[in-house]
Amino acid sequence: MQMTRGMRLQPAKEYVAAKLGVSVEDLVDPLAMSEVRREKGLGTLIYGECAEPTEPQVMEAKFHIAEVLDVPIACVDGFKKRAIA
Amino acid sequence: MGDGSLTDMTRSELKAEIEAGTEAAAKRAKLPELTQDELDHILDIFASPSRFSAVDIGDEVILSTDGTGSQDFASRVTDQQAFEQYLGADTLELYHHDYSFKAVKTDLGHEQTVMRLAQLVTTIPLQYGAMPDMGRYTKPDGPIPNWSELLPLGRFEEAFAAQEEAVPEVTNDIVFVTEGMVDAGADAIDLDTAGAAGDADFLASLRAIEIIRKKFPDLGVQIGMASETVLGMHGKLEYDGHRLAGMWPLQQMKMAEKAGATLFGPAINVNTGKTVAWNTARTLTIVKPCMAEAKIPIHLNVGMGVGGVPMAIMPPIDAVSRASRAAVDILRLDGL
Amino acid sequence: MSIAHGVASGMGGIRTAGDLVARMQLTRGMRIKEAKAYVAGKLGVSERDLSDPVVMLDVRREYGLGGLYDSEITDTNDAWAIQAKFNIAELLEIPINCVESFKTLVRGKLGAKS
Amino acid sequence: MEEGIPTRMGDGSLTRMTRSEIKADIEAGTQAAAAKAKVPPLSDVEQEHLLDIYASKARFTAVDMGEGVIISADGSGTRHIGTRQNDMQCFEQLLGADIIELWHIDYSFKAVKTVLPFEQQEMKDCLNVITSPMQYGAMPDLGRYTQPDGPIANWSELMPLGKIDEARDAQLEAVEQAVDDMVFVADGMAAVGADGIDLDTTGAAGDADFLAALRATEIIRKKHPDMGIEMGMAGEFVLGMHGQIEYDGRRLAGMWPLAQLKAAEKAGATIFGPCVNVNTGKSGAWNVARAITLVKPCMAEAKIPIHMNAGMGVGAVPMCRYLPLDAVSRASKAMVEILRLDGL
């Protein structure tokens, strides 16, 4: 949100928290966030049994992030253009 | 909390938790409680909103890791380099995904290759680690009758015999892999989560260490425990005239020393329903007796679910740093 | 293209004596015939053997000259990489820069028992 | 006097033979195969063509332009340089492989079972950066289920003791476990998007090993209709370690490549890899003539692609650690041209 929308820290945190349906405090809690990220398919650590390989990761996760945050992500758009169009 | 979840507590509540933790440990393992000074120090560490906590400058200890690297990106050689160059590890450990000497046995040539390549590009000590993993030798995966199935059926003698049969197999595999790793230039071998399958598992590890020590007088031998007490899955097994079942860290350490280990890692389990403060006080109480009597370095296990570190897949740094600092400050550990 | 050349006319690199002959070209400016004769002489094999991977595997292992990492090809008794280059320098009687640098950096402790 | 031509023996050593000697070896090789497997020998034209390939001093030889076939490797990469993902990329980007195979160093489904999530992750990461089809390979490896490593009584120990029935029962017990493990791994690989599964060196432990692979293939085919299933054999002839096992009404012990192929097709394999062992004491020419003669009956009747095994010690490739280009390229060209293979 800082990169694509130039939001300052607090509004960016509030925006993301609202989109995810969590509190601002939750955003820095790895326990809370790992569940939210898995639930919404936003990708998490790919090792240490943090996620199954069958869950969205990396490139796949960025498709979900773009949708959840309602922002364009260039490589997702490029992927869609090259692979889906 | 011990499950990693975040909660708010007053300083008084934390004080009560710490007192209850040391009391629980003292009662369970028949040990003295921590002193008032020690309890106060733990309270100071925990009763803080700070995101991070650390030992004082100059009090740092050695970090040995059971398994360095993610194995999921880059190569295992790169993993070792990353731990040395980025993460500040003091020792490195090469390991196989299937962290078991039995599984490694069939891949030894490949593991040696990786060890040799890693030794060519790292400077700090690099050990090879795996689990004695005695359960792996039982049916349906292994050749030996499964004592966990025999015991509930009341077939005790068969269950005991099966464990005794597994001991030399485990010992042989550990020694076999160690020999290969010494050939490949390893600095040390790590028998990790020893005793996971109970007293027979611990016995197999101790016997392996004896042989390894005789064959390779200069090789580092680290033994890390699976839990705070040795489970009496067999119950009657002895080492050096001492019954292994029911041993607490002090006795475990003495056995490890006697066998010839150079580094001992006690492991105290975390109670996920209690606070990290409670768990830390309990851990330190149980491990403290080791510290005075140890002739070899003590590296407390402080990984997920042991040594006060929460049982959470991504342990939060506030909790890990508090557990780490408290253990080093109170116990004057040789390492983690 | 590299593969095509390697297959069509290359000596075979580390599987044969390609790198050894190459060193004589690089450091001594020897022509291929002269370089092959020199290396074959040092190894005590025929010039034809130099491009024969079956022969050269045993020869390289005997002299500690390195090989493929696969544990079914070389094992922990075989020298690799920087270790092999020490042996190559001695065998071919040429200086190898990184070997010299290694010796400098370990400050004369190569012969000392650690 | 006839000129000596450099040529290789089955152990990889270089020797010199005259054109007439090579010709005689080719004839002896095809006759040996014909007599042993009761198949027709190669025609004079085919033998002449083999002679032209082998009676040559060239360091390398290749099929004609336009005649290239599909290369599927059982195991891509060295596993020692960089990462496994790099290995796969090198095989695709540098070495021109057509099918890329991810594998575990302990090439056995039983060993993979315990580390499946790691293997899935690796497969998934590779699929994201690889364009070519990717399969996951391992061995059915039935012997692995026996004591002292596994849970089941060791039939190789029981048989010399005359405990034939027990040895047979043990094999059938192992079949069930091996099938479960193969299907378990295939399911995991299908879940992360693998294009195919490779049951490699099938039949290594005899007819029960082959049966396990066939049964696993049936189940995998049903569960994953579009998944590629490559079945590569361990030897030219299915060893009758059990002796009475049947599949689809046919006894597996003693099957030669054609019968093996039919069983693999019936089970649902999409690629079949016949395997003919090398006799290290004979010349490359003898071995290639023998290998081609044994596999030739497959070619006319196959409904699925045939990828002949042409690795160390099989398919006329010498049994030695550094495989000489001259010998590999001759075996490769000879097999593709005479058999009109679908791949190697």
Cis peptide before D160 (omega within 30 of 0): no
pLDDT value of position A85: 64
Q: What mean pLDDT value characterizes chain B?
A: 94
For the residues D216-232, what does the mean pLDDT come to? 95
pLDDT at C114 over 50: no
Q: What are phi and psi of D317, to 5 degrees?
A: -85, 130
ipTM above 0.85 for this complex: no
For the residues B318-330, what does the mean pLDDT come to? 96
Candidates B313, B317, B318: best to mutate against A (most CBs of A within 10 A) is B313
**Taking CA D304 as the corner, what is the angle to CA D225 and CA D314, rounded to the nearest 5 degrees?**
115
Q: Do B6 and A31 touch (CB under 8 A)?
A: yes
Query: Quick check: A50 contacting D, CB < 8 Å?
Result: no
Cα distance from B76 to chain A (closest Cα, Å)?
14
Position with higher pLDDT, C88 vs A80 = C88
Domain assignment present for residue D302? The answer is yes
Q: What is the pLDDT of residues B160-186, one digit of tens each?
A: 999 999 999 999 999 999 999 999 989
pLDDT value of position A48: 60
Q: Do C57 and D322 touch (CB under 8 A)?
A: yes
pLDDT value of position C8: 76
Q: Do B141 and D121 touch (CB under 8 A)?
A: no
pLDDT at C3 over 80: no
pLDDT value of position B180: 95
Q: What mean pLDDT value characterizes chain D?
A: 94
Which residues of chain D neighbour C2 with C-beta distances below 8 Å?
Answer: 94
Q: Which residues contact B134 (CB under 8 A, 6 or more apart)?
A: B163, B166, B167, B170, B196, B197, B198, B200, B201, B204
pLDDT value of position D249: 96
Supply the CATH number for residue D134's domain: 3.20.20
Query: Quick check: D322 contacting C, CB < 8 Å?
Result: yes
Half-sphere exposure of B260 (CA within 13 A, CB side): 18
Q: Chains B/C: 3 or more C-beta pairs closer than 8 A? A: yes
Q: What is the pLDDT of residues D13-68, one digit of tens each?
A: 999 999 999 999 999 999 999 999 999 999 999 999 999 999 999 999 999 988 88
pLDDT at C113 over 60: no
For the residues D275-286, what does the mean pLDDT come to? 97
Q: Do D78 and C3 touch (CB under 8 A)?
A: no
Query: Quick check: A83 contacting D, CB < 8 Å?
Result: no
Domain total of chain D: 1
Q: Do B109 and C71 touch (CB under 8 A)?
A: yes
Tell me what percent of the residues of chain D surpass a pLDDT of 90: 82
For the residues B53-79, what does the mean pLDDT come to? 86
pLDDT at A53 over 90: no
pLDDT value of position B88: 83
Q: Do D121 and A46 touch (CB under 8 A)?
A: yes
Nearest residue in C to D9, CA atom: C54
Nearest residue in C to D328, CA atom: C7
pLDDT value of position D337: 95
Cα distance from A9 to chain D (closest Cα, Å)?
33
Q: Where are the domains of chain A?
A: 2-84
Comparing CB atoms, the residue among D82, D106, D121 nearest residue B106 is: D106
Q: Do A54 and D120 touch (CB under 8 A)?
A: yes
Classify residue A77 as exposed, middle or buried by CB count within 10 Å of its CB (0-12, 13-18, 19+).
exposed
Comparing CB atoms, the residue among D80, D83, D115 nearest residue B97 is: D115
Cα distance from A56 to chain D (closest Cα, Å)?
10
Cβ-based interface (< 8 Å): residues of B facing D:
71-75, 78, 97-98, 102-103, 106-107, 110, 113-114, 117, 139-143, 169
pLDDT band at B94 (very low <50, low <70, confident <90, very high): very high
SS (H, E, C) chain D: CCCCEEEEECCCCEEEECHHHHHHHHHHHHHHHHHHHCCCCCCHHHHHHHHHHHCCCCCCCCCCCCCCCECECCCCCCCCCCCHHHHHHHHHHCCCCCEEEEEEEEEEHHHHHCCHHHHHHHHHHHHHHCCCCEEEEEECCHHHHECCCCCECCHHHHHHHCCHHHHHHHHHHHHHHHHHHHHHHHHHHHHCCCCEEEEEEECCCCHHHHHHHHHHHHHHHHHCCCCEEEEEECCCCCCCCCCCCEECCEECCCCCHHHHHHHHHHHCCCEEECCCECCCCCEHHHHHHHHHHHHHHHHHHCCCCEECCCCCCECCCCCCCCCCHHHHHHHHHHHHHHHCCCEC
The correct CATH number of B11-132+177-199+218-231+240-331 out of 3.40.190, 3.30.43, 3.20.20, 3.30.70 is 3.20.20
Which residues of chain C neighbour B185 with C-beta distances below 8 Å?
Answer: 76
pLDDT band at A47 (very low <50, low <70, confident <90, very high): low
Domain assignment present for residue D315? The answer is yes
Neighbours of chain A (3+ CB pairs under 8 A): B, D
pLDDT at C112 over 70: no
Q: What is the CA radius of gyration of chain D?
A: 20
Q: Chains A/B: 3 or more C-beta pairs closer than 8 A? A: yes
pLDDT value of position B121: 87
Which residues of chain C neighbour D329 with C-beta distances below 8 Å?
Answer: 7
Cβ-based interface (< 8 Å): residues of C facing D:
2-3, 7-9, 12, 15, 48, 52-57, 68-70, 72-73
Q: In what order do the strands lie in the sheet with D196-202?
A: D100-108, D134-139, D196-202, D228-233, D271-273
For the residues B275-297, what does the mean pLDDT come to? 96
Distance CA B115, CA B130 (A): 14
Domain assignment present for residue D281? The answer is yes
